[in-house]
Amino acid sequence: MTELASFIAGLPKAELHVHHVGSASPRIVAELAARHEGQSPVPSDPAALADYFAFKDFKHFIDIYLTVVDLIRDDEDVRMLTYEVARELARQQVRYAELTVTPFSHVKRGIPAPAFCAAIEDARAGAAADFGIELRWCFDIPGEAGLPAAEETLRIALEERPDGLVSFGLGGPEIGVPRPQFKPYFDKARAAGLHSVPHAGETTGPTTIWDALRDLGAERIGHGIAAVGDPQLMAYLAEHQIPLEISPTSNVRTRAVASVAEHPLPQIVAAGVPFSINSDDPPMFGTTLEEEYAVAAHLLELDAAGVAGLAKAAVTQSFLPTTTQQKLLTEIDDYTEKWPA
């Protein structure tokens, strides 16, 4: 392990763009597949999952992702998955994570909304006690399921309102799923005090990001890499300090970007647009948050202090209270000052 990799491994971190089911480790996916042997195309052998997760394009990724969602059959599956995702994040010294959760996908498969929310909250409490990690939730509309999914996601968010819920999102395919149609749902979620964090501008152009800003009141943009194609948009994001949630390996694996070397992160930095580094769906993309920090460090030619800056940016762009942010920022500074120990 290089010196910088060692620094990254021990660095206290926050993660702002990481998906609930998409974070299931091969061990957990295989265990769930074994429980439902013969009922799912998902392999029950962890070694076979790398080939299964070889995505041809973004549509293929969504298709495969939904087969994994199908493995989550009851509230105990939900609790186990959430707790194990927290374990893996904590192993990487993640102190705080805003986990993107899609309750509609599980409720429509037969898990009652109250049971689903109770399961993630039970796992959240267990993870805080056992691993020292704080989880918060972004309830995410699966865009491919249309307005009924938006209606149900909003209902669950407002009626169940689990303690960890901080934001309202929109994911799934962008092509053929216009952002403006979701405006009424985001308006109601924001009126109820939830932050707006839709995906936009990953597999479509800058217009999708403008729509997310103007119609959905986006406070952060999931991915948003297409912004580099519109200088006016880049200037707007920089002026208003609206962060992009960047996941380099994800963008390559879904074919949104041809290669890591061609990733637009350096252009985003040069334009003064704020950003955080995230892992998105790490096991499915064969990555970790640690590896994403290493990729960003390579793209931006960062030393240890620069990498610490990535961690601090995620903290300040999070929805943590200011006092809690400051504690984590102090922990990052203390770690950096003592490096190498």
* Residues paired with 19 in a beta bridge: 100
Closest to 175 (Cα-Cα) out of 202, 153, 141: 202
CA 138 – CA 124 distance, rounded (Å)? 13
Instruction: Name the amino acid, one letter, at 239.
Output: E
Residues whose CB falls within 8 Å of the CB of residue 172, separated by 6 or more in sequence, listed in order: 62, 141, 142, 143, 144, 145, 199
Residue 135's Cα: distance from chain center in Å? 12
Residues whose CB falls within 8 Å of the CB of residue 31, separated by 6 or more in sequence, listed in order: none
**Rg of the chain on CA atoms, in Å:** 19
Catalytic site positions: 202
Residues whose CB falls within 8 Å of the CB of residue 183, separated by 6 or more in sequence, listed in order: 215, 216
Q: How many residues in total does the chain contain?
A: 341
CA 151 – CA 146 distance, rounded (Å)? 9
Residues whose CB falls within 8 Å of the CB of residue 278, separated by 6 or more in sequence, listed in order: 15, 16, 17, 18, 245, 246, 247, 289, 292, 314
The overall longest dimension of the chain from CA atoms, in Å, is 54
Q: Are 237 and 244 in contact (CB under 8 A)?
A: yes
Instruction: Name the amino acid, one letter, at 161.
Output: R
DSSP 301-337: T--HHHHHHHHHHHHHTSSS-HHHHHHHHHHHHHHHH
